[in-house]
Amino acid sequence: MKTGALVAAAGLSSRMNCFKPLLPLGDSTLLRYGLRTLLTAGAFPVAVVTGREEAVIRASLDDLPVTCLYNPEYAACQ
């Protein structure tokens, strides 16, 4: 049986005062750490919903086997 994963990374991070998905964590970022954990556990397919900083997130993940899905209405979902 396959188990996929959907990771939400489309928020504004307005209460945090910094962009949470790209926060440093060790030698990586919070988002990459979580995605690598899912991939190592065998999750497939893995999709990341982006919004704010979509291009930066997409570029930071282009070496991982994940699909980025852009939500143009991300600000309205807060």
pLDDT tens sequence across 9-51: 987 776 767 788 898 999 999 999 999 999 999 999 999 999 9
pLDDT number for residue 14: 67
68 token code pair:
């980025």
pLDDT in the model for residue 34: 96
Instruction: Return d(Cα 6, Cα 41) in angstroms, integer.
Output: 14
Residue with tokens 């690598």: 36
CA distances from 5 to 9, 14, 16, 47, 60 (A): 13, 25, 25, 6, 18
- At residue 15, what are phi and psi to the nearest 5 degrees? -80, -20
Q: Rounded CA gap, 19 and 46, in Å?
A: 21
Query: Is the pTM for the entire model greater than 0.85?
Result: yes
Determine which of 6-10, 19-23, 58-62, 74-78 has the lowest per-residue pLDDT on average: 74-78
